[in-house]
Amino acid sequence: MDKIAQELLLGRAVSYPTQYDAALLFPIERADARRLLGHDGPGLPFIGWDLWNAYEMSWLNPAGLPRVAILRVHVPCDSPRIIESKSFKLYLNSYNQTRFGSTQEVLTRLVEDLSRAASAPVEVTLVDAQALLAESIREFDGLNLDLNDHVEIDTYEPDAGILLLASDGDIVSESVFSRLLKSNCPVTGQPDWACIQIEYSGARIDHEALLRYIVSFRLHSGFHEHCVERIFTDIMAACRPEALSVFARYTRRGGLDISPWRATPGMPAPQIARSARQ
């Protein structure tokens, strides 16, 4: 990541823009990280998206009166690129003192700019802050792995070899979650915190081993999207479930939170909701 770190806005002091500027967006190719996971051929072994929630979206109407909204962006996982987070924040800040003729004009600009940066169509929604009152905070369903507080941990770098199948050999369909996923920004080293839900059908996965594996990301440097794809890939390779869904809700930083979801084809998309930590 050294070369990326030299190029990205994330690790440098920058001036905040005063007028709309789409050139602030900095795309990052997904292919480099996926190649390390063995996904360098045609097609992907998963479906999914990256959900971005931006809580600091504002612009001026024609009279100069500020408008505010929550920006919600779905980036498809088969887009060739992700968007570096600080460049995304700077781009959104460039709207703050810019006058637009209508909310629709703002939405059109967002769709065009973000789709161009991701090299794929993205879904963009502007949510009125009042409408959020209808969206309740909802935690993940399923078995809480974190209750296994007797589990001994001694590995803090990802290791797929930690994953094991349960000794009972049972075939199950279950949902488990943990609030203990932590990784680090590959540019600044700042901590990224997340709650992760894993749903699968197949031979039962050993819960203690799965918790150790999740915690093993604690010192790992990786973008949110790449971490979730690694978790999905490692579980598929080590445990071979018939169906698998991995969904991580990362805590917001700088007014943005990111929730990547990856799953085998046919798995239903998770419900859009925020955890208390977001």
Instruction: List residues with catalytic annotation.
Output: 185, 192
The SS3 call for residue 35 is helix
Buried b (16+ CB within 10 A) or exposed e, 175-184: ebbbbbbbbb
Contacts of 180 (CB under 8 A, 6+ apart): 145, 146, 211, 214, 215
Q: Roughly what angle, to the nearest 10 degrees, separates helices 207-215 and 224-239?
A: 150
- How many C-beta neighbours within 10 Å does residue 260 have? 28
Scanning the structure block, which residue is given the tokens 């990547």?
260
**Residue 149: DSSP 8-state:** T
Instruction: Give yes or no for a contact between 74 and 111, defined as CB atoms under 8 angstroms apart.
Output: no
Beta strands in 161-242 (DSSP E): 171-184, 191-203
Scanning the structure block, which residue is given the tokens 């963009």?
124
